[in-house]
Amino acid sequence: MRASLTAITFMIALAGCSSDRTTINTSQSLVMESSVLSAGITTDEPTIRETEGQQRASTVLFNQQEKPVKVTYRFYWYDDKGLEILPFERPTTLMVPAHGKAEISSQTGNLTASKVRLYLYL
């Protein structure tokens, strides 16, 4: 009886471990930390377009505050299968002026890139 109970418990534990927790939700194209919103920065999801053999993603950051805000961002590129495309882009920091705006963008020469995710933080 004890062996059966142990076997059942072990199988349940293995079933819980078998789910793939490394899958990235590539349908979420904009990720902003709450501190970015609290600092008065707003934006829309990035748009992608092909220009001269390059995929380009861009969006505009708006600062609704009385003071400039330093924002750090990184674009992540993905193919149709949801795999991240190399080379990885380094984070970039920029100052969004008070009551101003700043356009940010990323480019990749990999034409298999079909999705992009923008991550914003302070």
Fold of 23-121: Immunoglobulin-like (2.60.40)
Position 61 scores a pLDDT of: 98
Q: Domain locations in the chain?
A: 23-121
| Mean predicted lDDT score pLDDT of the chain | 85
Position 34 scores a pLDDT of: 96
Position 94 scores a pLDDT of: 97
Spell 28-59 as b/e; 16+ CB within 10 A means b: ebeebeeebeebbbebeebebeeeeeebbbbb
Q: Could you tell me what percent of the chain has a pLDDT over 90? A: 68
- What is the per-residue pLDDT across 33-82, written as a single tens digit (0 to 9) for each? 999 999 999 999 999 999 888 999 999 999 999 999 999 999 999 999 99
